Homo-oligomer: A and B are copies of this chain.
Amino acid sequence: MAKERVTVVEIAHAAGVSKSTVSLVLQGSPLVNETTRAKVSAVIRDLGYVYNRGAANLRQSNSKSKIIGIVVNDLTNSFFAELAVGVDMVVQSAGYVQFLSNSGENIDRQREVIASMREHGISGLIVSPARGTEAADLKPLVASGIPVVVVVRNVPGAKVSSLMSDNHAGVMAAVEHLVGIGHRRIAFLGGFADTAVFGERLEGYRDAMRKAGLEAADDLVIGSAPSRAGGVDAVTRALAIVDRPTAAVCFNDAVAFGVCDGLRAKRLEPGRDFAVVGFDDVIEAKTAVPALTTISVDPQGMGQRAAQLLLKQISAGKVDAEAIVASVRLVVRQSCGAGRLNDGKRIAS
């Protein structure tokens, strides 16, 4: 059943030329005569030849493998799925393929998959690091000259490029908007307190509150798992506070959806009885009811940018780490109630 591979030598023999010529044809060299090129190409098609990249980049000096690796911490989160799609798009059209793995927030597994990718000779890596990733985990990569781009979360101390969204500014804009439409008791809900991203967003919240002359009481920030279930949990606790908040900016969209769920379970209508703002602008944010007001980071675009950055470094051959913070904008929809209260930026569901 399992036929053996057709090789260049067999092509060469069948076409009556040397393997070198076949190789030349394969890489589209201008050195070869048009008629022989046509002849060889025909044979290649007829025999069903498949190129063996493994053999090729064994010979090609420093393993330019046309493979880039991408590992994300949670592929079931649609933010990361879309990020991966964005990466795939540009990577694919540049003639690369992507090794994608899901670390599932497990640092040992992340180490394994990165090691495995290295063995396969990836020529670059995009990673959204699992919690607790240290600079040492990426060290060997950069030491062997493989470009690395970390996205979403930073890895302090690692000399690699990073692409992060402007968490601080985003949350500030959200809080300012809520203040602008009259809210005073604004909570910050969801997220694990020990992550850098949480820290940045929380700082944005605190700064904006301070700037507005409002109190950011500690009981108004309630951590939880950064998931839909976590959001339900967080809002339930928030509503138990004696002096209830009237609005919340959430750690991310998943939490925000959970918050909406939790509100409904308490017979409160998000947008009308309680303002909710998310972070990420995942694809469902637009079509949900009520449509989610959120801070847009365009995960797909972010994936594309990360991929472009990586490809640039690969082709440049040198790795000078640059830290890019992607700007971010507040998308006002219905879940914050603004549509009814002021400017009519309401978007049809």
Contact = CB atoms under 8 A, between A and B. Distances in A.
Contacts of A214: none
A53 B119 contact: yes
A101 B92 CA distance: 9
A311 B211 CA distance: 59
A92 B265 CA distance: 40
A340 interface: no
A216 B51 CA distance: 53
Given A3-B144, A54-B57, A113-B92, A97 B120 contact: yes
A46 to B, nearest CB: 13
Nearest to A349: B265
Nearest to A78: B78
Interface in A51-71: 51-55, 57-58, 62-63, 65, 67
Most buried by B among A82, A97, A143: A97
A346 to B, nearest CB: 12
A106 to B, nearest CB: 11
A349 B257 CA distance: 13
A287 B101 CA distance: 26
Contacts of A140: 48
A116 B101 contact: no
A228 interface: yes
Contact of A116 (B82, B97, B119, B264): B97
Contacts of A84: 75, 100, 102
Contact of A319 (B1, B53, B62, B78): B1
Interface in A104-124: 104, 109, 112-113, 116-121
A98 interface: yes
A5 interface: yes
A84 B74 CA distance: 11
A54 B121 contact: yes
Nearest to A55: B58
Contacts of A92: 101, 109, 112-113
Interface of A: 1-5, 48, 50-55, 57-58, 62-63, 65, 67, 75-76, 78, 81-82, 84-85, 88, 92, 97-102, 104, 109, 112-113, 116-121, 140, 143-145, 228-229, 232, 257-258, 260-261, 264-265, 283-284, 287-289, 317-319, 349
Closest 4 A/B residue pairs (Cβ): A2-B145, A100-B100, A261-B289, A81-B81
29 contacts: A1-B145, A3-B144, A48-B140, A48-B143, A48-B144, A50-B118, A52-B58, A52-B63, A53-B120, A54-B63, A75-B88, A76-B78, A76-B81, A76-B85, A78-B78, A78-B81, A84-B102, A85-B104, A88-B101, A88-B102, A97-B101, A97-B117, A98-B101, A99-B100, A228-B288, A232-B349, A258-B287, A261-B349, A264-B289
